[in-house]
């Protein structure tokens, strides 16, 4: 399609599939650069729908909704990993879509994702696909203890069961209703990191400085940049892997790859997300260009630049739990607003809330980025903010 080669300039409308917080921050970035936006999401109060010029309220596979999104948009992206690849393919018949449905489809399926890592020379955890009782029976003991993960639709640690024995594995697969799964060997993690890259239509790849991530209960809790524990050799290896993965997918847009650094220093790929990522939210306040702006640039054909971290930072995820503090050993029943004024009295704090009115335990409500002159200063302020909010120290 020749239109895909043309620059899409400010004033045009950019479409996004999905109305969550990633879509909201994408919309903010696009609008600040002078674009109009259109969001497709069935939820009338979706975080991105609330701030977009246009909000098409239909399911992802609704023909009329997709036709309307294509009609109003000059180019389309996605903010939600599980948007059906078929919907992206349908849009791509008439409009440039970045990333392409084919790349998103690889990321949606853990088995395909791992095959892709291996295919481009990137190590991942030893694993096996379990789709049939025969495959279950053929599992060798060296994959135990392991983690059984559904091949599709897992996020924030959902759809995962840790298993120590063959009996536990069988029970776990039954609990997961025998859907296709991947069993991964449990690895000794030293720490977790991620790399966010952006790749343009011309094949140029740029990356953000590597992030170090702390997960709690399977959900990202804290991101620190620069990564405190990472050697230059490990980061170089991670950047090289990330570039290889993006290029071999012929990817256009922002892509995040999560890695494990093992206790013996080896680095293995965990999974990837075909979109901006929670571990890159600090880029809004701590880098000279954000992951959301790079998504805009990549999809419109504008130049990419190598992002620079101008401030060491810490990002704290604000989960719904914080709206239900524990008082005298008991979680309060009525939702109450955290003490933002106390947090914002600390210099270097940048509050982002996603406009979700109902807080729920484990729901991502917002994030707080803390910048400082040095990593130590950012961390010290972040620990104060965490104490005010009731987030465990890190
Ligand atoms: P996301 O919200 O990032 O999509 P997810 O539900 O897809 O999460 P994973 O990233 O696969 O889940 O795993 C969640 C966390 O569980 C990891 O960040 C890591 O802490 C731990 N974990 C996953 N796989 C392994 C493994 N093979 N060995 C050790 N720990 C693991
Ligand atoms: Mg993950």
Give residue-wise pLDDT tens across range 352-387: 999 998 999 999 999 999 999 999 999 999 999 999
Is residue 60 pLDDT above 70, yes or no? Answer: yes
Give the pLDDT mean for 30-53.
98
The radius of gyration computed from the CA coordinates of the chain, to the nearest angstrom, equals: 21
pLDDT for the residue numbered 4: 45
**Which domains, from first to last, does the chain contain?**
4-97 (3.40.50.20), 126-185 (3.30.1490.20), 189-389 (3.30.470.20)
Mutate to test the pocket of ligand 1, among 145, 153, 260 (most ligand atoms within 8 A of CB): 260
CA angle 307, 313, 319 (to 5 degrees): 110
| Ligand 2 center from residue 220 Cα (angstroms) | 8
Mean pLDDT value across the chain: 95
Ligand in nearest proximity to the CA of 158:
1
> Can you give the pLDDT at residue 154?
72
* 348 closest CA partner among 323, 368, 324, 365: 368
- State which ligand 1 atom lies nearest to the alpha carbon of 156: 2
pLDDT tens, position by position, 258-291:
999 999 999 999 999 999 999 999 999 999 999 9
In the reported structure, the alpha carbon of residue 271 is separated from the centroid of ligand 2 by a whole-number distance in angstroms of: 6
Strands (E), 246-361: 253-262, 267-273, 313-319, 326-327, 330-331, 349-353
Q: Tell me, what's the pLDDT at 138?
A: 93
Q: State the pLDDT confidence band at 1, using cuts at 50, 70 and 90.
A: very low
Taking only the tens place, the pLDDT of each residue in 164-185 is: 999 999 999 999 999 999 999 9
Taking the C-alpha atoms of residue 374 and residue 228, their distance in angstroms, rounded to an integer, is 12
Determine the pLDDT at residue 35. 98
Percentage of the chain exceeding pLDDT 90: 92
Spacing, Cα 113 to ligand 1 middle (Å): 14
Q: Is the pLDDT of residue 224 over 50?
A: yes
pTM for this prediction = 0.95
**Ligand nearest to the backbone CA of 192:** 1
Q: Each residue of 361-393: b (16+ CB within 10 Å) or e?
A: eebbbbbbbbbbeebebbbebbbbbbebbebee
Question: How distant, in Å, are the alpha carbons of 74, 96, 253, 269 from that of 92?
Answer: 11, 6, 15, 29
């Amino acid at each position: 399609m020749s239109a895909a080669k043309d620059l899409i300039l400010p004033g045009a409308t950019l479409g996004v599939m999905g109305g969550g917080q990633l879509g909201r921050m994408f919309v903010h970035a696009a609008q600040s650069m002078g674009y109009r936006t259109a969001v497709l999401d069935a939820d009338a109060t979706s975080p991105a729908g609330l701030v977009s010029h246009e909000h098409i309220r239909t399911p992802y596979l609704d023909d009329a909704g997709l036709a309307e999104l294509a009609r109003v948009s000059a180019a389309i992206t996605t903010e939600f990993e599980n948007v059906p690849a078929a919907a992206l393919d349908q849009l791509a018949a008439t409009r440039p879509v970045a990333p392409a449905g084919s790349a998103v489809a690889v990321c949606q399926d853990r088995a395909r994702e791992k095959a892709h890592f291996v295919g481009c020379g990137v190590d991942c955890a030893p694993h096996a696909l379990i789709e049939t009782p025969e495959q279950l029976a053929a599992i060798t003991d060296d994959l135990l203890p392991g983690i059984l993960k559904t091949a599709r639709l897992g996020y924030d640690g959902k759809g995962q069961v840790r298993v120590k024995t063959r009996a536990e594995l069988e029970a776990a697969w039954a609990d997961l209703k025998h859907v296709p799964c991947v069993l991964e060997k449990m690895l000794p993690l030293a720490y977790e990191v991620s790399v966010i890259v952006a790749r343009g239509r011309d094949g140029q790849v740029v990356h953000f400085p590597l992030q170090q991530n702390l997960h709690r209960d399977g959900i990202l809790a804290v991101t620190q940049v620069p990564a405190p524990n990472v050697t230059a050799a490990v980061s170089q290896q991670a950047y090289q892997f990330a570039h290889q993965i993006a290029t071999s997918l012929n990817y256009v847009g922002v892509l995040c790859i999560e890695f494990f650094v093992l206790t013996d220093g080896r680095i293995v790929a965990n999974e990837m997300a075909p979109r901006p990522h929670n571990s890159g939210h600090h880029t809004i306040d701590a880098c000279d260009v954000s992951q959301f702006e790079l998504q805009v640039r990549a999809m419109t054909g504008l130049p990419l630049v190598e992002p620079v971290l101008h401030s060491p930072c810490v990002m704290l995820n604000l989960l719904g739990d914080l709206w239900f503090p524990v008082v005298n050993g008991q979680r309060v029943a009525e939702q109450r607003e955290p003490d933002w004024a106390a947090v914002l009295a600390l210099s270097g704090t940048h509050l982002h809330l996603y406009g979700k009115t109902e807080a729920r335990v484990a729901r991502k409500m917002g994030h707080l980025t803390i910048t400082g002159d040095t990593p130590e200063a950012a961390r010290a302020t972040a620990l104060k903010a965490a104490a005010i909010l009731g987030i465990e120290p890190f």
